[in-house]
């Protein structure tokens, strides 16, 4: 309610049930529609794919991949997280 530019959510659905998780994801969408940026940190890849406009994958503290909406699926994200993904820019 008080954020003016960005909201950071670190694993906000980790301990929630299905209904509560759905409400959090709906909240993220409504906040984004109001023009606020949302940083959504999560290991739940289907949720990330559901709400993200851009996905930054970190591995060992460094960004190893960046995907726009529609560019990634769970398999590509797992590959990036595990180190198996070869970024086109670095090949």
Domain edges within the chain: 1-43, 53-91
Segment 70-74 long-range contacts (CB within 8 Å, at least 24 positions apart): 73/49, 74/45, 74/46, 74/49
pLDDT over 90 (residue 66): yes
User: Read out DSSP for 33-88?
Assistant: HTT-EEEEE-S-HHHHHHH-SEEEEEETTEEEEEEETTT--HHHHHHHHHT----G
pTM greater than 0.85: no
Neighbours of 1 (CB within 10 A): 2
Q: What is the pLDDT of residues 15-65, one digit of tens each?
A: 988 999 999 999 899 888 888 889 999 989 999 999 999 999 988 888 899
């Amino acid at each position: 309610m008080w954020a003016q530019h960005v909201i950071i959510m670190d694993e906000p659905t980790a301990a929630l049930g299905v209904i509560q998780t759905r409400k959090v994801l709906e909240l993220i969408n409504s906040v984004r529609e109001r023009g606020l940026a949302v940083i959504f940190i999560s290991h739940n890849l289907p949720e990330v794919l559901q709400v993200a406009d851009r996905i930054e994958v970190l591995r060992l503290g460094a960004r190893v991949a960046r995907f726009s909406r529609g560019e990634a699926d769970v398999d590509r994200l797992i590959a990036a997280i595990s180190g198996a993904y070869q970024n086109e820019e670095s090949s």
